[in-house]
Structure 1
Amino acid sequence: MGLPLSDARALAAAALRRNGADPAAAQSVARALVQAEADGFKGHGLSRLPSYVAQLRTGKVRGDAVPQASLPRPGALLVDAGLGFAFPALDLAVERLPALARRQGIACAGIARSHHCGAAGYFVETLAQAGLVAMLFANTPAAMAPWGGRRAVFGTNPIAFACPRPDAPPMVVDLALSTVARGNIANAAKKGEKIPPGWAFDAEGRPTTDPAMALGGTMAPLGDAKGIALALMVELLAAGMIGANYAAEASSFLDDRGGPPGTGQLLIALDPSAFSENALARFGQLAAMVEDQDGARLPGSRRLAARAAANRDGLKVDEALLRDIAAL
């Protein structure tokens, strides 16, 4: 048997509390990291704890920050993460958005002075479980160059989308705008492993399979120039519009050097019943068109399978990582 999810959450929360996170923040971060681990997104899971703790110790992330929400317009929620972890601020947005969206048909939340938001699908899925269609845009520290350039200006800037359907789990799309998430390269560097071709470039813009050179260079965008265009869109929505730091202004999520990253997120929630009483049934019809084909699958199906296995069998976590977390 693997590590039970409840034990993993307790282990993570205790490490965070020992290093300056208040209990509510520690629980929020632990929930998100363990869920990412269970869903198979290990680059956003427990492996993040050592760097999170290092940042708590230096004040790069504020463990006692309490997110503050205001409502500048009826459908616009503004959340100040207070230079703390993103997860408590996003939890607050997810808690408040459903009532606003049901009242008006659509509502959004901008999260400023934030941090790494982990597996972005976690938050939109929660909104979809409440019957809403949801989107999340998040900017991250600079990792991708403009198309044709060599200097990083854009983050890997994840986009997530979730849609409810009747009598079935929500459909969830969760992707970074780089070919892979930067956390995968960081993990390869820690393990001394090579990365596959096509993931990254070195500082001179040359393709590389060396993770250390990749971390000093730039990430390859998903879909070449199209991925860069989408990364520009996310920067404008999640940072420029909200007042958060652009990717090129943000410090790294991966180490304890520099000041707080101060990045941003934008969550949008729509009530599908505002447009059609038949919306959920129609969502289900389209999902069935995919699932009825042999070999076809909906986005997120692997995540659900991994989650079911983790709930049944526990988490398979490297023993060295568990020892590191216990020692934090």
Structure 2
Amino acid sequence: MSLRFTHETLPQRVVFGPAADHLAAEVARFGERPVVFGGAAPDLLPGAPRHRDVIMHVPVEAAARARAFAAANDADVLVSIGGGSSTGLAKAVALTSGLPIVAVPTTYAGSEATNVWGLTENGRKTTGADDRVLPRTIVYDAELTLSLPVGLSVASGLNALAHCVDSMWAPRADPINQALAVEGVRALSGGLPAIVRKPGDLQGRELTLYGAHLAAVAFASAGSGLHHKICHVLGGMFNLPHAQTHAVVLPYVMELNAPGIPDRLADAFGPGGLARLRAEVDAPRALRDHGFREGDIPAAAAAILAVVPAGNPVPVTTDNLTDLLRRAWAGEEPR
């Protein structure tokens, strides 16, 4: 078998360890006037101006306020402390200013390891890739995830798992990001049940952070597959919660794409596969539990069909997409 592919690795520094010991030094590598983006984030940079106006899916109005805040404080480095929404807001500022970002994730969203940005306007979420928004350094500190409730930890971790799965057949999928994705599935399949069993134990949270990083690196290289296109439409059009939407939709996308799932991905989930993992962690089950209405399905299907990426292993049609959305809305057991 001959290999023919082109792989691009994004330049980024990754630090695993206590943020209190590392963050100040990492910020000082890039500037002297940091501003912090994060709502309920811990105060890891005393004295630095803090912008708490963090909104899910980064509405363009929120991005404009964050850019004005950074400019008013003459910022030369942006620090995001929090989940994907905090990282996304810092990215919105970096997109127009070019300022470096140091990211301190407190969830398993993975945005910190990608050069992907997203903004929402008039019910439509637009995403793009730009190296200006890639955080220069990530500081992973598992202790900062201890305040994340088990339910949100599960949803956020399943969001990371979706990055792995999408990376197997996304437009730029290659053997390197597929290998990262498979290892990410192994780590997340072990870490998430450990969090559920012992929420205060750092070992499960560290393993989940590690898996989430691998997942995000794979996703950044491979691009958005069908799963993420579906979830971006649902989040932007109907303001559904990001992590829970990913957690609900994932098994139905895997069901649709079952003919294209490689053996090594199935093996990475371990005995019982995704179904066993979802049962073990009591995963979110139905889109209707998170604000999606059955009457919204036709509009959602039409919007998703327009952005289906090339390379999906199964042809996507109005009929099978509508069926997927209806079953995800109802929370039916995946076949």
When normalised by structure 2's length, the TM-score is: 0.28
What TM-score do the two structures reach when normalised by structure 1? 0.28
Larger proportion of helix: 2
RCO comparison, higher one (Cα < 8 Å, 6+): 1
